[in-house]
Structures are given as structure tokens and as C-alpha cells.
Amino acid sequence: MILPTAIQPHVVPRYMYWSDWGSTPSAKIERAGMDGSNRSVVIPSHLMWPNALAIDEDQGLLIWGDAQTEVTHRSMFVCFTLNVPGFILYCFLKQKH
């Protein structure tokens, strides 16, 4: 993490998302479990200065604004239940264009 700028919890699947401006072209959006485990990059490219993360639970979207391009972006959550002890819901993002 080089230059974190925003954080957004996603309570039901127990994730937190954050943006990291880093240095262009390395800006990205990452996620980890609420305890910091299972860290991963979920939006790795096509970002300049991702900022102002929000979650739309009704539509199943992660939404963010790009402070450099002044454009709002969104990615759709794809969720399913796993039958693994300790895991109830698994979600990943599918970027919408």
C-alpha cells in the first residue's frame, strides 16, 4: 500500500475495500477480510486516482469516483454461498463498462 485514499466496509460478507493511488499506472482498489486476511487486488487497472468508495447493497455494486478523470465507475458483486466451515458468502467483483 503506497497512498491509501478511501476505505469502505462491506459488512455482510465481512470485507473491507480501499483505494490506493500509488503511482500511475499502479492505482488500484483492494480488499481484505475485516481481520486483514485474504488481501487481494480487485480492480487492478484503468484507474488514475480512485476515491470515494461506496457500496450499493440493493444493486450489488461497488462504486467509486476517479478524482483525476472526474468519472464515476462501478463494479458488480458476484456472490455465492460456499459450503466450507467458516465461510458463508463469497463475493468478487466483475467490472461493468
- With contact defined as beta carbons under 8 Å apart, do 71 and 26 qualify? no
Range of the domain at 34: 4-95
Number of domains in the chain: 1
| 20, amino acid identity | D
What is the pLDDT tens value at each position of the chain, 97 positions in all? 788 888 898 887 788 999 998 765 678 888 899 999 989 888 888 888 888 898 888 887 888 888 888 888 888 776 544 555 554 444 555 554 4
- Torsion-angle region of 7 (φ positive above 0: left; ψ -120 to 50: alpha; else: beta): beta
Question: Which pTM value belongs to this model?
Answer: 0.75
